[in-house]
Amino acid sequence: MKAIHFDTPGDPDVLRWVDRPDPSLAPGEVLIAVRSAGVNRADVLQRRGLYPPPPGASSTLGLEAAGHVLAIASPTAASDPLPAWLKVGQPVMALLAGGGYAEQVAVPVGQVLPIPNSVSLEEAGALPEVFLTAFLNLFHVGGLPFGSGQSARVLIHGGASGVGTAAIQLCHAAGLITYCTVGDAARAQRCLKLGAHAAWNYRETDFHAQVLQATRGAGVDLILDCIGAEYLDRNLRSLALDGRLVLIGLMGGSQANLDLALLLRRRIQMLGSTLRALPTARKAALCADFATRALPLFERGALRPIVDQTFPMAAAAFAHRALDSAHFGKLVLVR
Ligand SMILES: NC(=O)c1ccc[n+]([C@@H]2O[C@H](COP(=O)([O-])OP(=O)(O)OC[C@H]3O[C@@H](n4cnc5c(N)ncnc54)[C@H](OP(=O)(O)O)[C@@H]3O)[C@@H](O)[C@H]2O)c1
């Protein structure tokens, strides 16, 4: 098969569309003929040699893909059972530990999801990684209420990112009060349209002051943070009593001074989380919960992947360059 490959880490030009060995299909796995694959910040870090794939994962880039089922291996006692809906030839999308930038990818059956009718095959390649990251960290790790009628206040950093656009929509669907940070006024407007109650330009305003004003000094119950060190102090000061800081990225660095008194006084919890490194069984449980609680919301049009641009898969280098410039939502490779 053809796949995007690089021999030495480096800038986007190291990415080449070349012949690679077909993926082998292990028991309990599904082989997918890839039609679309989402581009994620993690792919850029991996290309630069800063984020190696977890043990056993494909070294090919790509954490999510959509396409048609080519083959289904028999399940084992240890693997997840085959769902009744899964058939050869069917369109599906999948959460991957790697391997999406390719003509074919093999994935454990528990990470394969049906594509909602409202979502195209192209859009579906941009759905699993960011929506499952947001769903995991808001509702499983972060413990926010989902559809229980209770509310909470949430701050999402990077509202215009792939993860941010998914998180805003999920919070809106869950009835939560949502604020976000973005890099310009146009992207702020688009976040409001997705359901954010306020979107603050991090280049012009201090989100900590804005949070205190918006919540009348109370603070937010959860912050979904992809910035890390640069925002740590202001994040802690923006949380309410019993608030949770869920750290999913380190775009603003990993080393910071921490005032532990803030944690103590406000009973704050700090939680770190990476979806890619979770054991297969936990990914399968997450996908099953997402399929039950979130996929119906796509069918109803309450959730949708936000695709900014598509690129031919063979031209992945252009997509990687585009990820480093202003975009709203997802960049997708198609073939
Ligand atoms: N832990 C996990 O399991 C996991 C999984 C997936 C993703 N992630 C992380 O989630 C983050 C988003 O990933 P992605 O692929 O969706 O990214 P992306 O689409 O490339 O977006 C990056 C975003 O970061 C925003 N940003 C940059 N500097 C900022 C700042 N100082 N304050 C607020 N926002 C800022 C940018 O906003 P503007 O363009 O508006 O300036 C942009 O929207 C990354 O850090 C990624 O590593 C973690």
Q: Which of 254, 272, 290 lies at the terminal end of a domain, its last residue?
A: 272
* 8 A C-beta contact, residue 53 and residue 32: no
Which is the closest atom of ligand 1 to the Cα of 184? 40
High-pLDDT (> 70) share of the chain, %: 100
pTM metric for this prediction: 0.98
Q: What is the pLDDT of residues 122-171, one digit of tens each?
A: 999 999 999 999 999 999 999 999 977 788 999 999 999 999 999 999 99
| Structure confidence by residue, pLDDT tens digits, 76-90 | 777 777 899 999 999
CATH of the domain at 163: 3.40.50.720
Distance from residue 248's CA to the centre of ligand 1 (Å): 9
- What is the number of the ligand 1 atom nearest to the C-alpha of 329? 19
State whether 139 and 251 are in the same domain: yes
Q: What is the rounded distance in angstroms from the CA atom of residue 187 to the CA atom of residue 236?
A: 25
- Phi then psi for residue 12, to 5 deg, are -55, -25
Q: How does pLDDT run across 269-321, given as a tens digit for each residue?
A: 999 999 999 999 999 999 999 999 999 999 999 999 999 999 999 999 999 99
Single-letter code of the amino acid located at 132: L
Overall average pLDDT of the 216-240 stretch: 98
Shared domain for 233 and 167, answered yes or no, is yes
Same domain, 103 and 157: no
- 285: domain CATH number is 3.90.180.10
Average pLDDT value for residue range 19-45: 96
- The amino acid occupying position 269 is Q
d(CA 163, ligand 1 centre) in Å: 7
- Look at residues 253, 272, 291 and tell me which one is the last residue of a structural domain: 272
Per-residue DSSP letters for 32-77?
EEEEEEEE-HHHHHHHTTSSPPPTTS-SS--SEEEEEEEEEPPP-S
Identify whether residues 15 and 104 lie together within a single domain. Answer: yes
- Residue 275 near ligand 1, beta carbon < 6 Å: yes
d(C-alpha 40, C-alpha 21), whole Å = 24
Same domain membership, residue 105 and residue 148:
no
Centroid of ligand 1 to alpha carbon of 31 (angstroms): 30
Contact 234/223 with Cβ under 8 angstroms?
A: no
The pLDDT value given to residue 332: 98
The pLDDT-based confidence of 248 (bands split at 50, 70, 90) is very high
Regarding the beta carbon of 157 and ligand 1, being less than 6 Å apart is answered: yes
Within 10 angstroms of residue 317's Cβ, the number of other Cβ atoms is 19
Residue 79: its pLDDT value, please?
A: 73
Domain boundary among the residues 272, 303, 325 is at 272
Domain identity same for 268 and 285: no
- Assess whether 247 and 165 both reside in one domain: yes
| Whether residue 47 is found in the same domain as residue 176 | no
Q: Is 234 in the pocket of ligand 1 (CB under 6 A)?
A: no
Q: Is 137 in the pocket of ligand 1 (CB under 6 A)?
A: no
* Mean pLDDT of all residues in 170-193: 97
Q: Is 86 helix (H, G, I), strand (E, B) or coil?
A: coil
Structural domain count of the chain: 2
244 touches ligand 1 (CB under 6 Å): no
83 C-alpha to center of ligand 1: Å?
Answer: 33
Same domain, 190 and 240: yes
pLDDT surpasses 90 at 63:
yes
**Residues 195-226: pLDDT tens digits?**
999 999 999 999 999 999 999 999 999 999 99
What pLDDT, on a 0 to 100 scale, did the predictor assign at position 33? 98
Helix (H) or strand (E) holding 163: helix 162-173
pLDDT at 48: 97
Provide the domain limits for residue 324. 2-127+276-334
106 with 81, same domain: the answer is: yes
Q: Is 227 in the pocket of ligand 1 (CB under 6 A)?
A: yes
Same domain, 181 and 84: no
Residues 259 and 280 in one domain: no
Q: Which two tokens stand for residue 43?
A: 């792919």
In this predicted structure, what is the pLDDT of residue 13?
Answer: 97
3-class DSSP assignment, residue 158: coil
Q: What is the pLDDT of residues 18-28, one digit of tens each?
A: 999 999 999 99
